[in-house]
Structure 1
Amino acid sequence: MAEWLIEDGIAERRALLVEGERVLAARVVWPGELTAGARCTGRLSAKLKGTRRGLAQLDNGTEALVDHLPPPVTEGQTLDLVITRAPLAERGRLKLAQARVAGADTALPPPSFPVGRSVRRFPAGLWEEVWHAASSASLEFSDGEILVSVTPAMTLIDIDGTGDPRSLALAAVPAIADALAWFDIGGNIGIDFPTLAAKTDRRAVDEALGAALAEWPHERTAMNGFGFVQLVARLEGPSLLHRFATARLGMAARMALRRAELAAEGTGRVLLLTVHPALKPKLKEAWLAELARRTGREVRVESDPGLAIEAAHAQLVEA
């Protein structure tokens, strides 16, 4: 039976939906972030003319777009709000959070972070498998792989591999379903399947995709003559791919701290964490202090330009 497991890491809270030894879905949240379902207050700084939308200055100093404003609301009024979509960092810009006025008749979104069973550590290898797949933005399947790209307009999934187009498209479907849930993807999603000339082949892929995504809430177009399918799903916040695209060093720093915690389960007085030079400034003093507190070890950080940013290494040493 599938269940959500929750791991509270340093500067990161992680969740995996696990069934047996298989990951079905993953979520991440960073401390201090606005998340879908969060309640807050804000002052309406502007009403957009001709619409029921406006801008609100939230208590934390950030702005949010507010939808479905009640007609009596005026600029300068303080509102009780519920976040419907977290802010999204993109290349060169930040998409503001979206919110609605909270009221007795307001349909509130469910919390974006799942409720589950807290564990000290996920089962070995599961988080690493998801993390490395998201870092490379790809998933392999028999005779091929899918490549996933984040753009301002949509998330695009491309299929690469060998074999005839129909077989390749059908073989890619399970990997596509895994990627959508593993990477926590929402919003507009485009899938570029191999071009299939026969309508029967396109129908077969449509049916396979529908079956694979039956439990995933979305809307979907049928495959067109060029092999393109568009999905639309609820977007609540940044996917793992968004985080790697806009904060790769932050993702790598948190993974380095997790590796250090795992390494501390051995013997030795000093916990030595070796990282790429670009990563060292991202390791905040408060994070390192928390690492020392959790492990009961003195923490030392060294840099090695020969390491990849994603390949931090930790070990216990005597001095």
Structure 2
Amino acid sequence: MADWIVERGIGEVRAARIEGGAIVEARIEPDDALRAGAILTARLVRRIPVRGEGIVAWDGGEALLHPLPHGVTEGATLLVEITRPAAPEPGKPKRARARPAAPDAVPRDAPSLADLPGARILGPFDPDLLGEAGWPLLIEEAITGQVAFPGGALSIALTPAMTLIDIDGDLAPAALALAGVRAAAQAIARLDLAGSIGIDLPTVGDKAVRIAAAEAVDAILPQPFERTAVNGFGFLQIVRRRTRLSLPEQFVHAPAHARALLRQAQRTGGSGERTLAAHPAVVAAIAARPDWTVAVEHTLGAPLALRAEASLAISAGHVQARFP
């Protein structure tokens, strides 16, 4: 198995596992993210005994605690271990999740992507190995939810219940089901999809094809995960442990687009001042972190200017150098 390549970027750490010159797994970790594995002191603000859960809070955050420890009253402090960050779903964002820490635990930070075993750490002045392996295309897939494969395409949609992957194309149903489910399994790993994932395949009457489609997932998708069989309607469900936000979940909001645009700025050729034109929300996210601008200017050896353009989509920011 290939080692991970880890890039310390502006406001985030990026990691990718590359095989045959292409990214097969990728992760993005914002610097301010609440990471699974962190142990911190929290206060129990609400008991929900009917569900065996509670809500804990600390300075700057809160989480749903499960299971609810016996004998801990509301207002008491306890050590908790984060198991999943908050999920920014439309309408009703999900709280972070936590569990009571082990009796001998002490407060600690969670491991970072930079701690991946065997990882090769890259800085802003190193060769753009992620870009050479297709990082811009990966980000485009995360933003649009559209993933092409020979003979068809995947449409990935985030819903409150699960991440749904629809397979469509011009191949015969059996061939499309097999090609599509292979592409879906690869996309799940590449885009770091987790939690409950549903794949909608073309309806295929041949049971052997449905079995082959399920086995293709087993052969491609790294363990651990659980899955169902492909039912008669062509639906397959996969469950992967969710310890961080997937790439598509991160690009629901402006800060992820801001960090991606700053990466583009760092890698843009030319000289002189760089102008970043972007949606106002993206510009605001960059302006709110002056340290980000300073870091990019240090890399470029040139000043950075921001220009808000309301006509641009949130993902349509671009960089212009004063001199080519």
Normalised TM-score (structure 2) = 0.88
Counterpart Cα distance in 2 of 1:52 and 1:170? 42
Q: What's the CA shift string for 1:220-259, capped at 9, x where partnerless?
A: 1111111011111111122111122x31x32222121111
**Count of residues paired in the alignment:** 311
1:212 CA drift (Å): 2.2
Percentage of matched positions with identical amino acids? 39
Counterpart Cα distance in 1 of 2:81 and 2:111? 11
1:52 CA drift (Å): 3.6
Aligned to 1:268: 271
Q: Please, which of 257, 261, 286 is the counterpart of residue 256 of structure 1?
A: 261
Give the stretch that moved more between structures: 94-103 or 287-296.
287-296
Counterpart Cα distance in 1 of 2:19 and 2:210? 31
SS in 2 for 1:129: helix
Evaluate the alpha carbon distance shift between residue 200 and residue 267 of structure 1 in structure 2; reply closer, same or farther with a 3 A threshold.
Answer: closer
Counterpart Cα distance in 1 of 2:79 and 2:250? 29
Runs of 4+ aligned residues of structure 1 deviating over 4 Å after TM superposition are 303-308
Q: Please, which of 222, 226, 241 is the counterpart of residue 229 of structure 2?
A: 222
1:295 CA drift (Å): 2.3
Asked if 2 retains the 8 angstrom alpha-carbon contact of 1:37 and 1:112, the reply is: no
- For 2:154, the aligned partner's letter is I
Asked if 2 retains the 8 angstrom alpha-carbon contact of 1:186 and 1:239, the reply is: yes
Asked if 2 retains the 8 angstrom alpha-carbon contact of 1:187 and 1:233, the reply is: yes
- For 2:8, the aligned partner's letter is D
Give the stretch that moved more between structures: 31-40 or 117-126.
117-126
Q: Please, which of 141, 144, 160 is the counterpart of residue 136 of structure 1?
A: 144
Give the stretch that moved more between structures: 215-224 or 147-156.
215-224
Give the stretch that moved more between structures: 185-194 or 250-259.
250-259
Asked if 2 retains the 8 angstrom alpha-carbon contact of 1:54 and 1:66, the reply is: yes
- For 2:194, the aligned partner's letter is G
Give the stretch that moved more between structures: 267-276 or 195-204.
267-276
Asked if 1 retains the 8 angstrom alpha-carbon contact of 2:181 and 2:199, the reply is: no
Aligned to 1:122: 129
SS in 2 for 1:76: coil
Q: Please, which of 239, 252, 259 is the counterpart of residue 246 of structure 2?
A: 239
Q: Please say if 1:152 is aligned against 2:160.
A: yes
Evaluate the alpha carbon distance shift between residue 94 and residue 309 of structure 1 in structure 2; reply closer, same or farther with a 3 A threshold.
Answer: closer
Asked if 1 retains the 8 angstrom alpha-carbon contact of 2:276 and 2:319, the reply is: yes
Counterpart Cα distance in 2 of 1:178 and 1:201? 19
Counterpart Cα distance in 1 of 2:320 and 2:18? 29
Normalised TM-score (structure 1) = 0.89
Evaluate the alpha carbon distance shift between residue 133 and residue 50 of structure 1 in structure 2; reply closer, same or farther with a 3 A threshold.
Answer: closer
Counterpart Cα distance in 1 of 2:112 and 2:199? 25
